[in-house]
Structure 1
Amino acid sequence: MAPAVPTTMDRPHFIGIGGAGMSGIAKILAQRGARVAGSDAKESATAAALRALGVTVHIGHAAGHLAEDASCVVVSSAIRQDNPELAAAAERGIPVVHRSDALARLMDGLRPIAVAGTHGKTTTTSMLAVALDALALDPSYAIGGDLHGPGTNARHGAGEIFVAEADESDRSFHKYAPEVAIILNAELDHHANYASMEEIHESFEIFVGRIRPGGTLVVSADQEGARELTRRLAGRTGDVRVVTYGESEDADVRILDVTPRGLTSEVTVLLDGRELSFGVSVPGRHYANNAVAALAAGVALGVPADDLAAALGKYTGVGRRLQLKGEAAGAQVIDSYAHHPTEMTADLEAMRGAAAGSRVLVVFQPHLFSRTQELGTEMGRALALADASVVLDIYPAREDPIPGVTSAMIIDAAREAGADVRAEHDMAAVPDVLAGMVRPGDLVLTMGAGDVTDLGPRILARLES
C-alpha cells in the first residue's frame, strides 16, 4: 500500500518540473495518486514521461498555468523570485514547498538511505536502487539521472526502503532524516553557497546529525575531506554507527583490488573478515568505490552481503555517467557529466585505463561562471589527461555572467599543462571539428553538466556520413 500523500501535496504544481530532481518527486507523487501539474522552459523526453503518468506539463512559465485549486507550489533553489507562477502563488496564498521538503515528506514512514557527497551521488544512488530491486525489495528511489534499465530517475516502490540523493549544494540535505547516510567525499564546490571547506564540513556535520538514532553513517576512508569530517565527528555521533570504506588499511570495508576489464571492473573487498568479489559494469576506480559504498550501506540495512554484491553486478549505468552513446568510424562516443576537476580527472583516468593504447578526445563544456572562476585552472590541468580537447563556452545554467570569466581561463591552464586544446564558440560546428580529428579506435568524451550531452548523437551522425 502506498504511503498517504500529504493533503498539502495532493494537487502540487512544480515550477521547473523537467529538472532531474523535480521530475523525480513529481513522478513519485503521481504514482502515489496525487494530481500533479507543472511547467518547464522547453519540451523534453522528461516532459513526455511525466505526461505518460498523467501529469499536466505546461511549456513556458505563466501565471495562468497555476491551477485555481493547486494545493502547493514546489520549487528548487534555481527558481528565481520573479517567476510569474511563483508570484501568482504568493498573491493567492498558495503554500510554497522547497523540493527538499517535498522529498523529505515522501520518505516519511519508510527506511531512507540518503547518498551525499560532492561527487558520485547519482551513480551510487543508482547502484543501490538497481541492486535492491534485483533482490525483489522493490525500493522507492529518487535519482539525478535516468537508469539505463528502467529508463527513469524515480519510482514509487512497494518496499520499505527509499534511496535518494542528498544534495549539499544548497544545504537542502539538512531536511532529511535517513536511517543510513553515505558520504562519498567532501570538497569545496558550489561557490555561490560555500565560501570555505570549514563551511562544507559544518554543513555535512549537520547532515550527519540528522541520521536517525541507531542508524549508520557510511563514509569514505580515502578522500581527505571525508577523513577530516570523520575526525571532526569522533565521539559525537551518539548511537549512530560509523562504517568507513575504501582502500586505506584502516577502512572497515576495505577495497583490496580493482581490476580493469575494458569498460568494466572486478572489485575485491574485505568485509567482516572475509574476501568478497563482484563485478562493476562501469570503468574506473572511483566507480568501484561507489559500488563499495553502496554495498556497505545495503549491509547496514540488513541486506545479506553476498546477495547484494551479486546484485550490484546488475547495474548497467545511468545517463551521462560514462554512458556509451554509440560507435561510428571505429570510434566510441561516451557522455560524461563531469564538471568539477576531481570528476573530470576520475573519468579521464578511467578512460585512459579503458583505452588500451587508443586516444582519448574530449569536448568539454564548463558549467557555471562561479565554478570556472574558482576552479578553471584545475579544470585545464585535468584536460591534460586527454590526447586532445575542444573547449566550449561556459554553460551559465542559473547564473549571470561574471566579467572576465570565460573558457579562456581553462584553455590557458590546459596549454600551460602541455595539453593539446582548442576553443570552439559555436557548438553547431563541433561535429565537423571532431570529424577532422577522430581516428579509428579513439574514445570521444562529451563532458560537462550542460547541453553538451546533446552533441553525442550529432557527432556520431557526422562520423557516419
Structure 2
Amino acid sequence: MAPGSPTAMDRPHFIGIGGAGMSGIAKILAQRGAQVAGSDARDSPAAEALRGLGVTVHVGHAAGHLADDATCVVVSSAIREDNPELVRAAELSIPVVHRSDALASLMRGLRSIAVAGTHGKTTTTSMLAVALTELALDPAYAIGGDLAGPGTNARHGKGDIFVAEADESDRSFQKYDPEVAVVLNVELDHHANYASMDEIYDSFETFVGKIVPGGTLVINADQPGAVELTARVRDLSTLKVVTYGASDTADVRVHKVTPRGLTSEVTVLLNGKFLTFTVSVPGRHYAHNAVAALAAGVALGIPAHNLASALGKYTGVKRRLQLKGEAAGVQVVDSYAHHPTEMTADLEAMRGAVGDARILVVFQPHLFSRTQELGIEMGQALRLADASVVLDIYPAREDPIPGITSEVIIDAARAAGADVTAVHDKEQVPATVAGMAKPGDLVLTMGAGDVTDLGPRILDHLSS
C-alpha cells in the first residue's frame, strides 16, 4: 500500500491533529467519508470542531491511541521520531504519510491553486476561498488559519477547484502540481531548514517547476526575491508568467491603494482597463495580496469584474489583524506577524488605520533559530510602535540555543530608539499592559505562539 494513495487514506491517524495544517486535511478527509482519528498534545477548538465531524481525537500522545487497523499515519515535520504513536506505527508496519503528501492526494484531479511565499500565504489563500465560494464555485480549500466568516480552515467543496496554502518551510510545497501557483515574496526564513538564499531560490524553483504544462505562475513584480525568482524561471517553455504589483512592468498593475479606516480601496490596471474594488482589511500589503488573488482567479478563467466584487466579501482570518475587542476606550488587535517584514507591514497598516493614536505592542518571538538570525531586525521593527512589551521566546518545536534569548530583540529595539519593556512572566502581561494603556490606544498582540491568548485577558484587565 503506497503512502498517500486513496486506499491508504481510508482510516488515517493524524499525530498533531489540532495543528492548523493537519486539522484542515483531517476535516476534508472526514467530509469525504474517511474514518479519521488522531491525537494532539492538548485539547483545542480545532479538536472540538473535528469531533463534530465524527473524528476521534485523543488528548496526549500514547501508543494505544493508534488503532491497529489504521491505514496510514499522517505527520508533519514537527513530529519527532520518538513520538510513541509513530514508534507504534513502525511496529505495526503502518505507512507513514507526510502532511504534504496527504494534501497532494486531496488535490489530485482538481484544478488547483497553490499559494506560496514567505509572508501572506494564509491571507491570500483565504481571499481566494471566500471569493470563489461567493461566486458559487464551491471550491475545496486548505488554509493555515480559520476564516473569520466561515470560521474554518478547510472544506471539501463539490466544485472542481482546490485552493491550498503551500508551505515552503520544510520544502513540502514541492509535492504539489498546481494549475496556478502564486508566489507572493521570497525571503530567507526557516533557518533550521535553509542555510542561504540560494537554497531558498532552489526550493522555489522546484515548486514552480511542478506547475502543470500550460499552467500559470502569478508572482510579485515588486519584491526583490520574487523578481529574482521570475528571472530564474522565465525560460520555462511550458509556463505562463503573470506579474502583479505597483511596478510599471507588472501585468496586473496596482494603480492606487486608498486607506479607508480598517478597509482599503484598490484600483488595478488589468488588460488595459481600470478596475476598482474594496479590500475589507487594512494595509497596503493586504491590498496587494488581494491583487495576487485576483490575478490567480483570472488565470483560471474567472471574469475579473466578478472576482473583484467577490473579493470584497473577505473579512479576514483569525490572527491576521483580528479585532479582539475594546474596553476602557482601548482596542485590542491580534497579529500573527513573527518575521520582521510581517511585523513592519502590520505596524504600518495599523498606523494607517488609527492615525495619531498610540500603538502598544505585545511581542512574543517565535523560534530560537529565527531570533538568532533575525532578532536585530525584529527589534528594529518595534520602533514603529509607541511602546512594546517583549516576552520570552516561544520555542514551538525547537530546543534552546545557548545565548539566544529575547534580549537580542530588546537590545536592538532600544538601540533603534524604541520604548521596550521586558516581561519574562507571561502571566504578568495583562496587568502590565492594562497599566500602560490609555483611552484611544490600540494594543497589538503579535507573534505566532500563544501570545494570542493574552488579548482577551488584557481586555478583562482593562474592564476591571
Other-structure match for 2:248: 249
Letter in 2 for 1:368: L
Secondary structure (helix, strand or coil) at the match of 1:333 reads: strand
SS at match of 1:375: helix
1:233 Cα deviation after fit? 1.4
Q: Deviations over 1:76-98 (max 9, x none)?
A: 00000000000000011000000
Q: How does 1:139-178 map to 2 (within 5 A)?
A: 139-178=139-178
Cα separation, 2, equivalents of 1:251 and 1:168: 24
Q: 2 CA distance for matches of 1:127 and 1:353?
A: 21
Residue 34 of structure 2: aligned partner: 34
Could you list the per-position Cα deviations for residues 243-290 of structure 1 after superposition, in whole angstroms to 9, with x for gaps in the alignment? 000001100000000000111100000000000000001111100010
Q: For residues 294 and 440 of structure 1, what CA distance do their matches in structure 2 show?
A: 37
**Residue correspondences, number:** 461
Match of 1:111 in 2: 111
Aligned to 1:384: 383
Q: Deviations over 1:175-218 (max 9, x none)?
A: 00000000000000000000111110000000000000111000
Query: What is residue 205 of structure 2 aligned with on the other side?
Result: 205
Amino acid across the alignment from 1:67: A
Find the aligned partners of 1:5 and 1:380 in 2 and give their Cα distance: 46
Q: Which residue of 2 aligns with 1:394?
A: 393
Query: What CA distance in whole angstroms lies between the structure 1 residues aligned with 2:5 and 2:192?
Result: 34
Distance 2:355 2:327 in 1: 18
1:404 aligns with 2:403: yes
Amino acid at match of 2:262: L
Map 1:349-360; keep pairs closer than 5 Å.
349-360=348-359
Work out the CA distance in 1 between the residues paired with 2:89 and 2:234: 45
Aligned residues with identical type, % of pairs: 79
Counterpart-to-counterpart distance in 1, 2:410 and 2:114:
37
Tell me whether 1:373 sits opposite 2:352 in the alignment. no
In the TM superposition, what whole-angstrom CA distance separates every residue of 1:54-82 from its partner, at most 9, and x where no partner exists? 00000000000000100000000000000
Q: Which residue of 1 aligns with 2:267?
A: 268
User: Quick one: distance in 1 between partners of 2:263 and 2:413?
Assistant: 29
Structure 2 counterpart of 1:218, one-letter code:
V
Distance 2:169 2:150 in 1: 27
Q: Is the contact between residue 5 and residue 32 of structure 1 (CA under 8 Å) also seen in structure 2? A: no
Give the Cα separation in 2 of the matches to 1:339 and 1:156.
30
Secondary structure of the 1:158 match is coil
Residue aligned with 1:436, SS:
helix
Query: CA–CA distance in 1 between the matches of 2:442 and 2:299?
Result: 38
Partners of 1:379 and 1:94 lie apart in 2 by: 43
2:5 and 2:395 map into 1 onto residues whose CA distance is 36
Q: Which residue of 1 aligns with 2:220?
A: 220
Question: Counterpart amino acid of 1:118?
Answer: T
Q: Which residue of 2 aligns with 1:128?
A: 128
In 2, are the aligned partners of 1:201 and 1:229 still within 8 Å (CA)?
Answer: yes
State the distance in 1 between where 2:329 and 2:243 align.
Answer: 42
For the residue of structure 2 that corresponds to 1:123, the secondary structure is helix
Q: Contact 1:5–1:33 (CA<8 Å) still a contact in 2?
A: no
Q: Please identify runs of 4+ aligned residues in structure 1 that moved more than 4 A.
A: none
| Aligned Cα root-mean-square deviation (Å) | 0.8
> 1:266 touches 1:277 (CA, 8 Å); kept in 2?
yes
TM-fit CA distance, 1:5 = 8.2
The aligned amino acid for 2:188 is L
Listed as ranges, the matches of 1:232-243 within 5 Å are 232-235=232-235, 237-243=236-242
- Cα deviation, 1:314-345, whole Å, max 9, x if unaligned, reads 00000100000001111110000000000000
**Contact preservation (8 Å) 1:140, 1:155:** yes
Give the secondary structure class of the aligned counterpart of 2:182. strand
Residue correspondence of structure 1 range 56-71 to structure 2 within 5 A? 56-71=56-71
Structure 2 counterpart of 1:187, one-letter code: E
Partner letter of residue 354 of structure 1? Answer: A
For 2:7 and 2:296, how far apart are their aligned partners in 1?
A: 32
Find the counterpart in structure 2 of residue 346 from structure 1.
345
- Of the structure 1 ranges 284-293 and 4-13, higher mean CA displacement relative to structure 2 is found in 4-13
* C-alpha deviation, 1:454, in angstroms: 0.3
Please, what TM-score do these two structures have when normalized by structure 2?
0.99
Secondary structure, aligned partner of 1:14:
strand
Cα deviation, residue 240, structure 1 = 1.2
**Cα contact 2:234–2:241 (8 A) shared by 1:** no
Q: Which ranges of structure 2 fall in alignment gaps of 5 or more residues?
A: none
Q: Which residue of 2 aligns with 1:441?
A: 440
Distance 1:16 1:413 in 2: 35
Instruction: State the 1:32 CA deviation.
Output: 0.1
CA–CA separation in structure 2 for the residues paired with 1:403 and 1:34: 45
Aligned to 2:285: 286
The answer for the alignment partner of 2:308 in structure 1 is 309
Q: 1:344-388 deviations in whole A, cap 9, x for unaligned? A: 000000011111210111000000000000000000000000000
SS in 1 for 2:384: coil
